[in-house]
Amino acid sequence: MSTPRFLNLPPGVRRTDIATSRGTFAALEALPGSGVTEHGSALLVPGYGGSKEDFLAILQTLARARRRVVAVDLRGQYQSSGSEDPADYTVSALGADVGALLEAVGPGPVHLVGHSFGGLVTRETVIADPSRLASYTLMSSGPAALTGPRADGCRLILTLATQRDLEELWDTGIGPLKTAQGVPEDILDFLRSRMLGGSLQGLKTMALEVTTCPDRVKELARAAGKADLPVLVLYGEDDDAWDPRAQAAMADRLDAAKVVIPSAAHSPAVDAPETTASALTDFWNAAERRR
């Protein structure tokens, strides 16, 4: 659902694999230039059709605050392997994967960020067991299923039967649209390889999940409250996926902090990386001071 600003890895960021009890996940890892970490690690989880590269523009800045930052591909996304079992791609199963990733990214409490569909996934993790967390951020995510034009696009994915169908959708629809929008050729090549490189079964099941997910805000608020877990709701002022007003209302229901990123839409980490990284760092530092 988002376009990375650039694909070349900046200094201090490397591609790696994170081995967990539930499998191995492709990741980008950022460390401070000194190599010395003084603060808790952070785990960033992308949205539907996304990947770890959606956070590329903020990783280096976040790591400068003397912390380790890891962005991952979910199971079946881009460079993380997946199966043909639809049950592996429900928000519950993916949330369990994130729980295993938290354990691997530790030791110590981890700052967890879920972007878009990644927010629906990570809230499953928090509801199940918030004990490994230092803080939790919902970035451009909502209280329940996605609606509107973006949901219609997800439902279109549900009609695809074969990998060739997916290729045709890109070649005759998505690709030409992005070309008309002025997306550079190198970014187009990346987006095409990302979309076609993941699991079609995963893409379809996640599409079903993001368009049918129930409202679990009350359960999330209960779990976060019992754990005294700091929660942040962060979104762009022009978000065109979940209505900003719905996200503001969700923040109120969660008794959470709220940050609205100016001049950003659904992908604040891409549209306004410095402002987004600053907001996250401030929130993480405040959460650590509370402990």
Is residue 227 in a domain?
yes
Angle at 138 between CA 150 and CA 157, to 5 degrees: 25
Answer whether 192's CB lies under 8 Å from 51's CB.
no
Residue 97 has pLDDT above 90, yes or no: yes
CATH number at residue 124: 3.40.50.1820
Is residue 206 in a domain?
no
| pTM across the whole model | 0.95
pLDDT mean over 22-32 = 96
Is residue 275 in a domain?
yes
Is residue 249 in a domain?
yes
Question: What whole-number distance in Å separates Cα of residue 33 and Cα of residue 193?
Answer: 31
**Residue whose pair of structure tokens reads 């909502």 in the numeric block:** 142
Is residue 248 in a domain?
yes
Is residue 17 in a domain?
yes
Question: What whole-number distance in Å separates Cα of residue 118 and Cα of residue 134?
Answer: 18
> Whose CA is closest to 288, among 109, 122, 48?
109
- HSE-CB at 58 with a 13 A cutoff on CA atoms is 26
Residue 291 has pLDDT above 90, yes or no: no
Is residue 160 in a domain?
no
Is residue 232 in a domain?
yes
User: pLDDT by residue (tens digit) across 63-91?
Assistant: 999 999 999 999 999 999 999 999 999 99
Q: Are strands 42-45 and 13-20 parallel, antiparallel or unpaired?
A: unpaired
- HSE-CB at 222 with a 13 A cutoff on CA atoms is 7
Residue 70 domain boundaries: 13-150+214-290
- Number of domains comprising the chain: 1
In this predicted structure, what is the pLDDT of residue 3? 45
Residue 2 has pLDDT above 60, yes or no: no
Residue 1 has pLDDT above 60, yes or no: no
In this predicted structure, what is the pLDDT of residue 37? 80
Burial class (CB in 10 A: 0-12, 13-18, 19+), 78: buried
Q: What is the dihedral of CA 211, 100, 259, 53, to 10 degrees?
A: -80
User: pLDDT by residue (tens digit) across 118-155?
Assistant: 999 999 999 999 999 999 999 999 999 999 999 999 99
pLDDT mean over 179-197 = 92
